Amino acid sequence: MALEETEAPSAPAPLSDADRGLALLACRSAILRKWSSGFEEIGALVNSTLDAASAADGKSEAGMDYNKAARVLAERQMAACSREVTAADVQAHKAGGLSEAAVERLLGGTALGFQLTEEDQKAYDKAFSEEIVSSEAPSIMGVQVHRVPLWLQILYMVAVIAAISYVVLLVVRQLTQRDKEKAERAEKARKEKEGKKRS
């Protein structure tokens, strides 16, 4: 009996709130990958969604068109994926993408019993908007500016201006010193000429 308990698969570790948004982005990536590569399979799943909707309503398929069925299927697959995704999937997504086996496991076919909750929808919208902001934000030497505190940005700008001013000051001093030396040499040469003329 104890042996059976140790061999039972353990439930995946729950995701932190920070990883929840990344998990939904991994699900979006899995859906895009699956839908862009398996047109026939997705078409069959959309048709199954249409059939299930017409059987549940008892009406003809006029209540749901193909586009709406595709949207419902995508939302259900997103809901199924959001419940199945693990921390390992999030790490794989960060590292470069999910494997084919992980995509198949996460999407769950027609996912008839799943609905995307409003909480999941808000989390997905927030994660997606943050991803867009992160990808479009300016960066200086690889550091995204919007992640740096404002006081540090101001300190950085003041330090850069001070450094540039100091370099300009050094250059101006060098140039003026060179001009002074030339003027002194010219004056010395003129005085020597005048001294020779007098003698």
Q: What was the pLDDT predicted at 164?
A: 96
Q: 166 falls in which pLDDT band (50, 70, 90)?
A: very high
Which residues, 6+ apart, have CB-to-CB distance to 152 below 8 Å? none
Q: What digits encode the pLDDT tens for the residues 83-112?
A: 778 788 778 877 777 777 877 777 766 566
Q: What was the pLDDT predicted at 136?
A: 55
Q: Mean pLDDT highest for which of 54-63, 146-155, 165-174?
A: 165-174
Does 1 have pLDDT greater than 60? no
Does 5 have pLDDT greater than 50? no
Q: What was the pLDDT predicted at 132?
A: 53
d(CA 2, CA 6): 6
The larger pLDDT score, comparing residue 130 to residue 177, is at: 177
Q: How many CB atoms lie within 10 A of CB 84?
A: 18
DSSP string, 15-31: PPHHHHHHHHHHHHHHH
The mean pLDDT value of the chain amounts to 75
Q: What was the pLDDT predicted at 165?
A: 96
Contact 27, 111 (CB under 8 A): no
Q: What digits encode the pLDDT tens for the residues 15-26?
A: 666 677 777 778
Q: 53 falls in which pLDDT band (50, 70, 90)?
A: confident
Q: What was the pLDDT predicted at 9?
A: 41
Does 179 have pLDDT greater than 60? yes
Does 153 have pLDDT greater than 80? yes
Residue 66's SS3 state is: helix
Does 57 have pLDDT greater than 80? no
